[in-house]
């Protein structure tokens, strides 16, 4: 009887993990448009540090209310990787890139993130995947690289360099957080990573506010609020839980759908014109989602 129950539960658990990971992708797809809005009133360094501080305040409240135990000392190196990857590194590099790069272009470039995450995850966990899995992931990445080179006339721009650099640090943060979420709730993973980054983000925010001008406006405040409460905290909670449930590689491939979603938001919220090449590249990447999930 016990065996039957566990057998029946596994598909439902996998579906639940997939739903959580997909929800995280949907949340992250609005991050670039929200960043664009935030940059209308805040500088890039101010945007990154304030989103981290606001998210830390929110996470700290949850940690206190939930009486979350302080993580063991052996877990802090992994939490530091999470902080450097998804709290400082990726937000800073992509925010700097968005000062000179359209949101729609950045979304397609960051479409290579799933392959980076799967590669880092495989190296860390020593997991093997089928040839079909890697072929589909590589095909999606090749489409992104070809799109980038075509858009920049064969030579990547400064924004492209920053975007590609962000892939490695974000992938490391995703993998470290995904592995930690197997032993502690996802909200504690990102919560303690935010708290641990406070000695860096707090003084950095003070300096940024004294150097960069601030022009308060509704659009800027909404963008910053979304980045802090939803992208930096809420999205990471469901994303890490989803990764812990269905595995790092499979969850990461769901992110291949993120560029297409971001393109939709870029057109609807920012009024950006989507070229046929942009739409076709996003569609090609989306096809890879189905292939990798099946593989």
Copy the structure tokens of residue 67: 């009486």
Question: Which residues make Cβ contacts (< 8 Å) with residue 255, sequence separation at least 6?
Answer: 25, 28, 111, 113, 114, 117
Q: Say how far apart CA 226 and CA 105 lie, in whole Å.
A: 21
Tell me the pLDDT tens digit for each residue of 4-58.
443 334 666 777 888 898 999 999 999 999 999 999 999 999 999 999 999 999 9
- Look at the pTM and tell me if it is higher than 0.75: yes
Tell me the pLDDT tens digit for each residue of 47-61.
999 999 999 999 999
Tell me the pLDDT tens digit for each residue of 130-175.
788 788 878 877 887 788 777 766 667 888 899 989 999 999 998 8
Q: Say how far apart CA 251 and CA 64 lie, in whole Å.
A: 29
The beta-strand segments (E) located in 99-170 are none
> What is the Cα 236 distance to its own chain's centre?
8
Q: Say how far apart CA 155 and CA 137 lie, in whole Å.
A: 23
How much is the pLDDT for 10? 61
How much is the pLDDT for 11? 62
How much is the pLDDT for 8? 37
Query: Which of these, 76, 143, 140, lies nearest to 291 by C-alpha position?
Result: 140
Alpha-carbon distances of 53 from 16, 43, 48, 81, 216, rounded to whole Å: 31, 15, 9, 18, 18
Q: Say how far apart CA 279 and CA 276 lie, in whole Å.
A: 5
Sign of the four-CA dihedral 127, 131, 137, 143: positive
Check if the beta carbon of residue 35 is closer than 8 Å to that of residue 270.
no
Q: For the ranges 41-55, 168-182, 214-228, 244-258, which has the lowest average pLDDT?
A: 244-258
């Amino acid at each position: 009887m016990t065996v039957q129950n566990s057998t029946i539960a596994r598909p439902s658990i996998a579906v639940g993990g997939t739903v959580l990971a997909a929800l995280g992708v949907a949340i992250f797809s609005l991050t670039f448009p929200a960043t664009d809005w935030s940059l209308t009133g805040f500088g890039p360094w101010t945007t990154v540090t304030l989103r981290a501080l606001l998210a830390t305040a929110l996470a700290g409240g949850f940690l206190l209310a939930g009486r979350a135990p302080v993580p063991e000392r052996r877990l802090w190196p992994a939490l530091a990787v999470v902080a450097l990857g998804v709290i400082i590194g990726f937000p800073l590099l992509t925010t700097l890139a968005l000062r000179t790069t359209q949101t729609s272009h950045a979304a397609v470039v960051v479409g290579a993130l799933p392959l980076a995450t799967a590669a880092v995850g495989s190296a860390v966990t020593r997991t093997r995947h089928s040839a079909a899995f890697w072929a589909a992931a590589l095909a999606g990445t090749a489409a992104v690289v070809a799109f980038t080179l075509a858009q920049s006339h064969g030579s990547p721009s400064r924004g492209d360099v920053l975007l590609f650099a962000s892939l490695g640090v974000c992938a490391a943060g995703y993998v470290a957080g995904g592995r930690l979420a197997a032993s502690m709730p996802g909200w504690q993973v990102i919560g303690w990573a935010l708290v641990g980054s406070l000695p860096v983000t707090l003084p950095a925010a003070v300096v940024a506010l004294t150097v960069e001008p601030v022009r308060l406006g509704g659009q800027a405040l909404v963008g910053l609020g979304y980045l802090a409460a939803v992208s930096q905290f809420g999205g990471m909670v469901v994303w890490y839980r989803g990764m812990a449930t269905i595995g790092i590689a499979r969850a990461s491939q769901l992110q291949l759908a993120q560029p297409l979603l971001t393109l939709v938001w870029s057109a609807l919220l920012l009024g950006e014109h989507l070229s046929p090449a942009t739409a076709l590249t996003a569609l090609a990447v989306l096809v890879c989602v189905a292939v990798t999930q099946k593989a």
